[in-house]
Structures are given as structure tokens and as C-alpha cells.
Structure 1
Amino acid sequence: MAFDSHHDVPMAESMQLQPASYDGTLENYQEEALSVPDISTRPPIPDQYEEDVIGDDSITEVPSVGEEIQISYKLVEGATRGGKNLMVDSLGFSYNKKVLGRKKIQRDGKCTWRCSVRSKALTCPATVYQDGNIFTRGSRPHLHQGKTGAAVTAALTAAAKSLAREKANMFTSATTVP
């Protein structure tokens, strides 16, 4: 039988894994494994949780089959990167105004809005047609989920951009603008 070089114990016995607190009896080991930890050192759990919730134009009820979803649209002026108008719906989707070609003439009050999610990886084909105050969704659906709080985000972005465009704030750092 081979012996371990560090101890005078046969190799087979020294290779066995045992818990650090094992004293050779099974009863003591089981009692220690089943003991309940002391919870007096944990911080107290509050009875009520406080949450800061920003109001949003989200749908609170899920419509049943065959029931139509009532969607509201909100126009936010100056909310895009270029300072153009952005339209946000109650489902959390945002739309940019579709640019017409040079020779096409836009009739009064009629325009097409397309989804603002447009990148190399994902170009959403969803559109909304506007005729005065009447909005009609296009036939193609969104390829992504709507963003919660999109209307609030667009309004805050537009407010920040309008503050930054004022002459008094033109040469001040963005972090110091109130």
C-alpha cells in the first residue's frame, strides 16, 4: 500500500473528502446540516414599500378577443435629435414624420408617420396615416415591443432641448442647465 508523502496515513484514507466540522459521527453532522441560521443579525424588513411612479398613458386592461384597442396619439414638438416633431402612441411606440420626395406635394393635414426604430439591424415597417385629427394604423405591425413611458421621455427630451436652445444657455455646460 502506498503512503502519502506528507503524512504517515495510507493514500486511500487521505484522499477521502470530509466536511470541515466532521467528527466521525453521522448524528452530529446531520444536526449541524439541518440547523436554522440566526436571523437576528439581518436588517429589519419594512412593512410598506414606497415607489415613485411616473404617470403614463399605458393600457391597464387587456382587451378580450375581438375587442378593439383604443389607441391615443400625442404629438411632441422638438423631441427628435434634429429638433423635429415626434408622435407617441399610448402603446409606447414613437413615430417620425415620413419625408416626401422633392416633387411630391403634401396635402393639408395629411401625412404619414413611420416607426422611429430604424437601424441597420432592425427597421420597423409600422406606419400611421394622419388625416387632420384622424389617425389610422398601417397594415404592417411593429417588429419590437413598445417602450414604457415613451410619452414622458419624449416630453422631457423636448423640454431639455428647448432649454438648451435658449440664448442664455447657449454657451453653458449641459450639466449646469437647470
Structure 2
Amino acid sequence: MDGREFSWVCPDCEEYHLEAVNSSPERVWASDFNVDTTIDDVQQLHENSIRVDTNIPEVLPEDSPITWTVVATGTKRMKPRLHDSRGYTYTVRGKTAMSTYWWCSIRQKDNRCPATVTEKDNSFKPGANPHNHPGDPGALLKTQVRVQVLEFCGSSTDTRAAPVIAEEALQTHKTATSQILHKLENDIRAGQRKRQFLRPPEPS
């Protein structure tokens, strides 16, 4: 050997390598590409930059405890009516020496609501059956206004017009949380009928 170095290459492998190089796709660079260009900083979101709806109450209505109000002459027949804070109303179904049993006021022939409430020692406990209809948020306000209109219109000493009495009753019982646009027409007519019924007959 004369000390020379030789590099041996497999002819089949060399042929495969040349084909792979020749068949590889040509890279096309955008004209505005610059390897020295830095990437813009990503905008960081901070907690105080997130918009928060301040109108959402801290406690949702369905999580709030139910409150109860009994209006002694709340029905059209001047019987007791029970109201809860969800807008449901109840009338007396029966009584015992210790308890009063209420059932939902919705009792149409084609839609008899199965919801009930048991009252004992001024405590109210809903029954197992839920309501099958939505509540009316303005139910208590409507009852209170109607009762006051009938009471004042039925007094012989109150000579104010029924619309004036109805408006005063609305302002008396309306609260900041009522948010109910209560129409007084029905209450005014009820008050006028009450006065007409109590008015002495005209001499013949």
C-alpha cells in the first residue's frame, strides 16, 4: 500500500441519495422574511382588564331563601291567600288544631297544580310536588293593591275617587325591588263596584 486513503461509497445508496435530493421540494421564502426580525410581545391579560357585569347579584334568586306572606283577605272571596317570594300563591285547603294546609291557587280543570305548603307555628314547608307553571313576580303587589282599594272604597268616610285610591295603594306597596308595571284598571273597577254595591238605593 502506498499510504493513500480511499473513500468507498455504495453505488446503490449513492443513487438513492441523489434521487432524494433532486426530488425534495424547493423552499420558497417570502420576500419580506427576515430572520433578524423579533416577534411582537404577546398582549398580557390582567385580572383588572376583564370586564365584569356588576348587575349580576351575589346571590341568585333560586339560591335565596323563600319568604312567605299571608294576606288575610287576599282572594276575591276575601279569604286568606299565601304568597311566596317566587311569585306563587296559595289558598287554604284545610286546617287542624296545629297546622294549616295550603295548595296552589292554579286549579283549573285542565291544569291543576300539585304544589302544596304546610304551615305550622308560623313556619312554612313546601310539599314534595313542585309547581307545574312559572310564578308571577308581581302577584303579591297586585293582591296588596286590590285589598287596599276595596278596603278604602268600602269605607263610608273615604270620599276620594277610586283612581286616586288605587294610585295611592300602588305607591304604598310598591318597593324598589318590585319592578312590576301593574295596571290599575281592574282595581279601579273593583273599587267602583264596591262603592256601587254599598250605595243606598235611590228613592223611587
Normalising by structure 1, we get a TM-score of 0.53
Higher relative contact order (CA 8 A, sep 6+): 1
Letter in 1 for 2:92: K
**1:125 and 2:120 matched:** no
Q: Residue 60 and residue 75 in structure 1: after superposition, are their counterparts in 2 closer, same or farther (change >3 A)?
A: farther
Tell me by how many angstroms 1:157 deviates. Answer: 1.6
Q: 2:129 is paired with a residue of what secondary structure? A: coil
Q: Residue 144 and residue 163 in structure 1: after superposition, are their counterparts in 2 closer, same or farther (change >3 A)?
A: same
Q: 1:151 is paired with a residue of what secondary structure? A: helix
8 Å CA contact 2:94–2:100 kept in 1: the answer is no
Letter in 1 for 2:67: S
Match of 1:85 in 2: 80
Tell me by how many angstroms 1:131 deviates. Answer: 0.3
8 Å CA contact 2:94–2:102 kept in 1: the answer is no
Q: Gaps spanning 5+ residues in structure 1: where?
A: 1-58, 101-105
Q: Residue 73 and residue 63 in structure 1: after superposition, are their counterparts in 2 closer, same or farther (change >3 A)?
A: closer
Percent of aligned positions that are identical: 26
Match of 2:133 in 1: 144
8 Å CA contact 1:73–1:87 kept in 2: the answer is yes
Q: 1:160 is paired with a residue of what secondary structure? A: helix
Q: 2:125 is paired with a residue of what secondary structure? A: strand
Aligned with 2:151 (options 159, 162, 167): 162
Letter in 1 for 2:71: V
Matched residues in 2 for 1:140 and 1:60: separation? 28
Q: Residue 161 and residue 124 in structure 1: after superposition, are their counterparts in 2 closer, same or farther (change >3 A)?
A: same
**1:97 and 2:86 matched:** no
Q: Gaps spanning 5+ residues in structure 2: where?
A: 1-56, 163-190, 196-204
- Across the two proteins, how many residue pairs are aligned to each other? 109
Matched residues in 2 for 1:154 and 1:168: separation? 23
Match of 2:4 in 1: none
Q: 1:174 is paired with a residue of what secondary structure? A: helix
Aligned with 1:174 (options 181, 185, 192): 192
Letter in 2 for 1:137: P
Match of 1:61 in 2: 59
Q: Residue 176 and residue 96 in structure 1: after superposition, are their counterparts in 2 closer, same or farther (change >3 A)?
A: closer
Structure with a larger share of its residues in helix: 2
Runs of 4+ in 1 over 6 A off after TM superposition: none
8 Å CA contact 1:75–1:88 kept in 2: the answer is yes
